[in-house]
Structure 1
C-alpha cells in the first residue's frame, strides 16, 4: 500500500513511463493468446490456460543464439518444439507476431523477418498455446473467444525432434502433408541433424529411422496393437497406441492413460529414439524405452534370409533351408552378405511348403503386398499360387489380414517374447531340415533347468511304458560319447520316470488353461501331482532336436546336486512318441521377468534383491566348492535364476555346465557356449574358462539386480557403453549410488548397496586373477563393514555404443579360432 501511495504522488507522465517499462519486462503478455498488434518480445512468454506449457525465446546450452520454442513448465530446459530452428537470432531483441492474415512471423533485432508460418487467410486471426503444447492459429469471434473447428495452422503439423501425446505422425494424403521428426544437430544447435524418423507408405506402412539417407532402424509394420519391432511397448500400461489407415490419412498417434502423465517421444542427436515420462517426485525425465537397443535393431545386420538374435554368439544365422552366401565372411562373423537357398523352389509341381519362424520382427515390408480382407489360410493359399512369393504372415497379431513377400526377406530378427509368426516358403527337400538358427524363449512361471536334449530321451533308450512312477539307473543307459565320460561308467544316478497317465491327469490332459507358454522346443504346462506337488511339464514338439552331451550333462548334474539355491528336476516321462521333462513349479518366474520390467521391478525391494544376490552366491559357492562334483556353470544369467513363492533364487540350466577335477584350475575349449553380455573376456575371446568365469557372470548379475538394467542393450545418455562401463564410471566419480534402480531408492540400505556394487565390480574385473572366489564373495556380502580392495576396470571396457563400434568389435572377436555357440533355449 505504501508503494501505491508513493506512486499516486508521481506526475502522470512519470507514472505512464513506469507502466510502459514494467510491461516491457513482464515475463508474460497476459495469457495464452497472441493477437495482431501485440507481438511477443524476447523475455516474454505465452502460458497455456492450465499453466502446463510455455512458449517464448530460449537459448540452447553453450550458445547465445535465440530461438522461439515450446516447453513444459515442469522442465523449462527441455524444448519440445522449435520454430526458427535453422534461423537463429544473434541478439535478444527478436519478436514473434501474428499478421492480420494469420501468418506467424519471427523478426530479428533489425526487424527483419527470419521465419514465417505462411498465410492462413483468416479475417480475425489469433494464435493460442494449448495445454497439449500445440500452438494454433484460428479465427477469433467478436467477443474474443476462439471459433470452434479446424485450425488454419498448428505447430503439431510441423514437429521438430519430438512427438507429443495427441500429435499425428505420418501423412495427410489429401494435402500431401508429411509429419516426421528430425534430431537436433547437437545439444547447442536445434538445426536438423542427421537422424530422421518417418512413416514409409510403400507396401505395408512402417516407421523407419534414417541416418542421413541410410536406414538405421526399422520399427516394422503395425500389427493391430503395436509396431512389429517394439514388443516391449506392450509391457507398459502408460501409453495408448493408435494407427490409422484410410483413403485420407495414414498416421500413428499415442496418448497417455492419464492427463497427469507428461510424456514425449524424441529422436536425439545421437540417433536414439526415446520414450520419456516426467517423474514428479524426482523432478526428472525417466527413459521408458530406448531404441535401437542392441545390434539386431540396426537394419539388416544379417542380410537376406539371415536371422539376427542378440542372445546368440555369433548373432547371425541362416533361415532353415538357406546357407551363408559367403562362408568365409560368415566364419569371420560378418553376416551382412546374407544367405541363399539350398534348394530352388518348385512352384510348377506344387511341392513347396512353409516353415514357421516364431517370435520374429517381420521382414522389411516396403516391397510387400497387403490384403486386410482375408485370413491366414487364404493368405497361405495365395502365396502358394504366386510363384514369386517367398513368405507370408498375418497383417494383424490376431490372425487377420495378409502380408505377402515376393522379394528377398531382409532385416529379420527374433525376440524372446512379443514377436510374430513368419511363414517362409521352402522347397520340399528343405522342409525336413533343422533350422540353422534357434532362439531363446522365456516361458513364464516354470523351472526348466535346461531343455537341451529332450528329444534324445527316445534315442538313448529310456522310452518305456509305465503305469506307475518308477526309477531307472542312468549308468545302464548306453550312449556313444560324453564330454564328462569319466563319470559315465558304473555310476548310478536315479532318474524318476512318470507314466503318461499321471502327467495327463496332472495337467488336465494338457488343457489350454494350464498352458504356461511355448518355448523353442515345445509347450510348457502347469500341473498338480496329488494335492500338493505343483509341477511344470515341458512337452517336446516332434520336430525338436538337441545333442546327447547337453541332455546327459543336465540329467547327471541335477541328479547329483542338492542345494536350496539350485533347481530341482523331478523326473521325466517317455512313452510312445511323448518326451517330457518334469520340474518343480516356480510361481514367480525368472529373475529377468522382474528386474527388467518397470512395473514388476517395484515388487522387489532392496532387501529382497539383496537376499537374491546372497542366494545366488551361496548356490554358486556350492557348485564351485561344496558339492561332490566341482561344477562350472558357464551360463549364469538373469533368465537362468528362478524364483520360488518366497522369492528365493534357484540356479537353473546345467546343460552347458562342466565338471572340474580337483587338480584342474582352468580349461580351454574350441566350443564357447554361453550368453553374450555375461561371458568373461578370457572365455569369449580365447575359450579359457574356470571358476572365475562364473564369478564374472555373477558380477554382471549383481549390477543388473541393483540397477534394474541389462548389461547389453541399454542406452545411457550420460555414458556411452554397457552397464559394466557405466557402473565403473559412476564408481570412479564417487557417484556409485546413482546406479541403484530408482524404483527401490526409498527402501535401500546405502551401506549394503554400495558394498554390493563394489563386490559386483570386483567380480567383473578384466583379469581373472583379480576376481575374488565365491567363498570370498559370500564373506564380502555378509561383512558390511569389511574393507574391500578397490576394483580395477571391468572386462569389455570401454564397449561399443553404436553400430560402427559394434561392427568393429565383432571383427575383433572373430580373430579367435574358437567355435562359438550359445544357450539356445530359455524355457521357463
Structure 2
C-alpha cells in the first residue's frame, strides 16, 4: 500500500494544521462515523450500524503493541483487518483521526503520525464503518449519505489476511491496484508474514498461494462454476463464488445466500487458507473448508505429465502414453521427477490424437493461451495444427472457450467429484485406436504393470485371503509372500508397495552393522541405511525372537501403504525374502519425540512455538486417520516414541502395527486382547477392551500434557505427581495453577494464553467418559483458533496407579529411546 509514503507527500503545512485541528477537538466517538471534528482515542471504538463489526485499537495475544483494526463483534474477538500492521504503537495513547481533506491518520503517544490512508481531495469528508466490515472515506451529503462517485478510500482495497463477503481478491487493471491476502507473521504479530495468496494474471488467471517466493499451492483457473482445483465450491449450499474477468478488472469474490450468515476466509500464519462460519448455538467458528488439505493440493507433487490422486497408493502415476522419467525414484514413492513420453508425437503426418483425463484439476495455466469465444471442436483442431500443443481443455465447464498448452503439463490431479475433462495429446501408437484417430480415448484409470504383474497380483490376493482364513498361524513364516522383490504387488484391497531385494537392504545398512543401529523396539532392531548417494532410509527388521511382530508386520504393510499425509511417516517398501520380514521407511534425522521431551538437555531445543507446532501436526495426522483417509483407522498406540521428527522438527505418526480399521457404521469395538502402552491407554480400553476414535483422543491428550510438561505420565514419583501426570495436571488446574505444569526449560518462551488453552485442551481429551472427549476435528478447530473459548474439562480418567505385577512389568516394558522403531506393550484383558 505504501500508505505511510503517500502521507509524507501531503503538504507539510496542511498536515501540521490537520494534526493541530484534530487535537483541539478531542471529542470521543460514538456510532459508526468519524469526522474531522473528532478523533478515535485508544479506549474508544466505532461500531457498525448493525453491530456486526467494530473498529478500534487492539493488542494481539501475548503482545503489548497497539494496532488499529476491524473485528467481528463476537467473542472471542476475531481480527479481520489491520491498518498499521508494520507500524505498531508501544503505548495506549494512540489516536485515529481524519483530516479536513479526507486523509486518515494514526498518531502515536507523541502525536507523531505513523500511518496514513494517503491524500484525497474531499470538501466534507467522513469515515464510516459499514456493516460488511468495510471502512470507507467518502464525501458526505447533508443527510449523511454518500455522494455518488466520491468514495476516496476503502479498507476493502487493502486486505490483510482475511477476505470478507463482497471483498475482491484480484486486480484493478486501470489503477494497477492488486488486492491480495498476506498472512500475519505470527499470532502476536500482524506484520506481513511468509504466505501470500494472489490472483496471477498470466495465461488463464488463477489463484496462487506463495510461501515466500516459492509457489506452494494453486487453486487453478475459473471454469464457470468453480476454481478448477477446488471443486468443493460446487457443493457449497450457502456460499456463492463469482469470478469476474473484464477489461478493467479481474477478481474473485464470494457471498452468501442469507444475510444472517457470518463467514470469513482467512489465511493463517502457517499458510492454511480456511473458510469459517460462525455457529450461533455453540458461539464459535467452524471450519467450512480448509486448503491445502492433502498432499495433492501442493504444487507438482508428481512432476511434469504426472497425475496426483490422494486416494491412490502411491499417490503419483503417469498420464496415459507416459512413463516415469526416473523409475527408481518412483519405486521409492518420489514422483517429482515426472514422466516422459513413450512415443514422440508425429505432427507432420497428422496422426496424433487425444486421451481424455476425466475429473481433472487443469494443469498450470500461467503459460497457456485462452480464447473464450472458441468452441471445443475448434479448440481441438487448433491444437492439432500447432505442433507445440500438448493439451487442450474448455475454458468453461459448459464446453465453451478454449485453453491450449504448448509447454509441459504440470500440477495435474484428479478428483472423485468435480474437476473437468483435460485432453492430452498422444502419438497414435499410444492411443490404441487403429486408423481411426479422430476420436478421443477416455482414461478412467491408469493401467500399470504387465501380464506377469497381473498374474502376480492375483496370486498375492489369493494368498492374503488364505492368510485371513488361517488366523491361528503363529508366525509370518506361514504367509506366502512373493520372494522376488523387484515388482509391485497388490491384494484384493488394492494395496501396493515396492518390494526391495534383500541384497539391496544389506548393502544399504552395511550388513546391518552395529554402527548403523538406531535402536530397538518390540518389533525388532532399527538400522539407518542409504540407497544410492542421497536417499537415507530407516530399516526395521523383524526379530526372529519377537512374539509381537508377525501380525503387526502384515497389518502395518497393508494399512500404511494406503496412507499419505505430511504428518504420517512414509513407508517406502518392504522385503519378505526368505525368513526376513523388513520394513523400509523414510529416515527421520531428529529421531523420536521422546528423545527430546524427556531429556533435560535436548528439551531446551524445543521452544514453545516448536512444541505447539508438534501438537498441531499430530492433531492433523490423527484427524486424517479418523476422518479424511481412504480408511477409517484407530491407531491404538499413540505415544511419544511413535512420533518421529523430520529435519524441520515436523511430527510424523509412525508404527501402525496395532492399528485397526473401522467401518463407517462402527463407533466402538471390543477386544479380549488389549494391546498398547500403559500410560497412554484410555480407561475403557485398558479395563474393558472397548476402543474407538475417542481412545486415540485420550492418548493424544496424554501426549499434549507430556509435551507441555516435559514429564512422562507414568514412571514419576507418586509424591511428586499424586499418582501420575494426569492427576497432577488436574490438581494444578483445579487450583488455578495450570501454568506450573509448563516445562521450566521453556517458561521464558511460552505464550501464557496458548499454554493455558493447550493444557485445557489436553484435559478435555483425557476426560474419563469417552463421550465427553472432543473429536479430532474439534481439536484441530480449537488449535487453529487460539482465541477460542474452550469448555471446562471434567475429571480425567486416572490410570490405575497400583504397582504392576511381575508379569505385567515384563509386558509393559518399553524402549523410550526407540528411533523409527516399534515399541509395543501387550496387556491381556482381565
Deviation at 1:784, TM superposition (A): 6.4
Taking only aligned residues, the RMSD between alpha carbons, in angstroms, comes to 4.8
Q: Structure 2 CA distance, aligned partners of 1:427 and 1:725?
A: 42
**Contact 1:197–1:210, Cα closer than 8 Å, also in 2:** yes
| Higher mean C-alpha deviation, range 208-217 or range 317-326 | 317-326
Deviation at 1:343, TM superposition (A): 2.0
Structure 2 residue matching 1:398: 3-state secondary structure = coil
Q: How does 1:387-426 map to 2 (within 5 A)?
A: 387-426=387-426
Give the match for residue 92 of structure 1. 92
**Contact 1:295–1:310, Cα closer than 8 Å, also in 2:** yes
Q: Structure 1 CA distance, aligned partners of 2:150 and 2:366?
A: 33
1:291 maps onto 2:291 in alignment? yes
1:686 maps onto 2:610 in alignment? no
Deviations 1:184-207 (A, max 9, x none): 111111111111111011110000
Q: Structure 2 CA distance, aligned partners of 1:241 and 1:427?
A: 39
1:304 maps onto 2:191 in alignment? no
Q: How does 1:718-737 map to 2 (within 5 A)?
A: 719-721=615-617, 726=622
- Number of matched pairs: 540
Choose from 664, 667, 670 the match for 1:777: 670
Distance 1:295 1:684, change over 3 A: same
Q: How does 1:539-578 map to 2 (within 5 A)?
A: 547-548=454-455
| Higher mean C-alpha deviation, range 306-315 or range 767-776 | 767-776
1:230 maps onto 2:205 in alignment? no
**Contact 1:666–1:688, Cα closer than 8 Å, also in 2:** no
Q: Structure 1 CA distance, aligned partners of 2:106 and 2:237?
A: 40
Give the match for residue 240 of structure 1. 240
Structure 2 residue matching 1:299: 3-state secondary structure = coil
Choose from 505, 520, 534 the match for 2:444: 520
Give the match for residue 38 of structure 2. 38
Deviation at 1:347, TM superposition (A): 0.8
Q: TM-score with structure 1 length normalisation?
A: 0.57
Structure 2 residue matching 1:787: 3-state secondary structure = helix
**Contact 2:346–2:427, Cα closer than 8 Å, also in 1:** yes
**Contact 1:728–1:793, Cα closer than 8 Å, also in 2:** no
Q: Structure 1 CA distance, aligned partners of 2:351 and 2:660?
A: 60
**Contact 1:550–1:655, Cα closer than 8 Å, also in 2:** no
Distance 1:391 1:150, change over 3 A: farther
Deviation at 1:324, TM superposition (A): 2.8
**Runs of at least 5 residues in structure 2 that lack an aligned partner in the other structure:** 1-24, 434-441, 482-490, 498-549, 583-611, 643-652, 663-667, 675-682, 690-694, 705-819, 822-830
Q: Structure 1 CA distance, aligned partners of 2:172 and 2:624?
A: 48
Q: How does 1:174-323 map to 2 (within 5 A)?
A: 174-323=174-323
Structure 1 residue matching 2:293: 3-state secondary structure = coil
Structure 2 residue matching 1:233: 3-state secondary structure = helix
Give the match for residue 128 of structure 1. 128
Deviations 1:84-132 (A, max 9, x none): 1110011111111111111111111111111111122111000100110
**Contact 1:135–1:155, Cα closer than 8 Å, also in 2:** yes
Deviation at 1:283, TM superposition (A): 1.4
Distance 1:35 1:667, change over 3 A: closer
Deviation at 1:359, TM superposition (A): 1.7
Deviation at 1:336, TM superposition (A): 2.3
Q: Structure 2 CA distance, aligned partners of 1:178 and 1:683?
A: 43
**Contact 2:86–2:190, Cα closer than 8 Å, also in 1:** yes
Structure 2 residue matching 1:364: 3-state secondary structure = coil
Q: How does 1:82-121 map to 2 (within 5 A)?
A: 82-121=82-121
**Runs of at least 5 residues in structure 1 that lack an aligned partner in the other structure:** 1-22, 434-517, 523-539, 562-619, 635-651, 659-663, 694-715, 730-738, 742-755, 799-814, 817-828
Deviation at 1:381, TM superposition (A): 0.8
**Contact 2:463–2:480, Cα closer than 8 Å, also in 1:** no
**Contact 2:71–2:77, Cα closer than 8 Å, also in 1:** yes
Deviation at 1:148, TM superposition (A): 4.4
Q: How does 1:665-684 map to 2 (within 5 A)?
A: 674-677=561-564
Deviation at 1:143, TM superposition (A): 3.7
Structure 2 residue matching 1:296: 3-state secondary structure = helix
Structure 2 residue matching 1:720: 3-state secondary structure = helix
Q: Structure 2 CA distance, aligned partners of 1:670 and 1:64?
A: 49
**Contact 1:376–1:394, Cα closer than 8 Å, also in 2:** yes
Structure 2 residue matching 1:686: 3-state secondary structure = strand
Distance 1:64 1:780, change over 3 A: same
Deviation at 1:151, TM superposition (A): 1.9
Deviation at 1:232, TM superposition (A): 2.0
Deviation at 1:78, TM superposition (A): 1.4
Q: TM-score with structure 2 length normalisation?
A: 0.57
Structure 1 residue matching 2:429: 3-state secondary structure = helix
Give the match for residue 687 of structure 2. 787
1:361 maps onto 2:361 in alignment? yes
Deviation at 1:332, TM superposition (A): 3.6
Give the match for residue 74 of structure 1. 74
